[in-house]
Amino acid sequence: MGAGRFAEMGFPFPEFLGPWVGFWEIAGGLLVLIGLLTRAGAVPLIITMIVAIITTKLPNFAADGLVAALHSWRLDVSLLLASLFLFIAGGGKFALDRLIHRSR
């Protein structure tokens, strides 16, 4: 389904990009979830959300108008802002990053 979706949107090399993006979404999500390399894990999530907003949500703005576009963007923008926050602030005091750095 990933490759077909990428082909439908006109991305080059959809057979490669579908699994590649899926891998980085899962890897980044797991790193953020367990708090290991949180900032590094947030980077692919930020990139994914920016590309998703540009390729899938921006065309809705022109077709449906401002109110409908903002309504459909709410989850994507929330995930982008959450990922940006994690990139800036890090994982926090309960993250594995902190435990590893504390032992040094």
Phi, then psi, of 13 in degrees rounded to 5: 50, 55
| Rounded CA separation 43/68 (Å) | 28
Give the model confidence (pLDDT) of 31-65 as tens digits: 999 999 999 999 999 999 999 899 888 887 888 88
DSSP 79-100: HHHHHHHHHHH-S-TTSHHHHH
Measured over the CA atoms of residue 88, residue 89, residue 95 and residue 98, the dihedral's sign is positive
pLDDT (0 to 100) of residue 11: 87
Determine the 3-state secondary structure of 30 from DSSP: helix
Give the model confidence (pLDDT) of 4-40 as tens digits: 888 888 889 989 998 999 999 999 999 999 999 999 9
Amino acid identity at 48: T
Q: What is the mean pLDDT of the chain?
A: 89
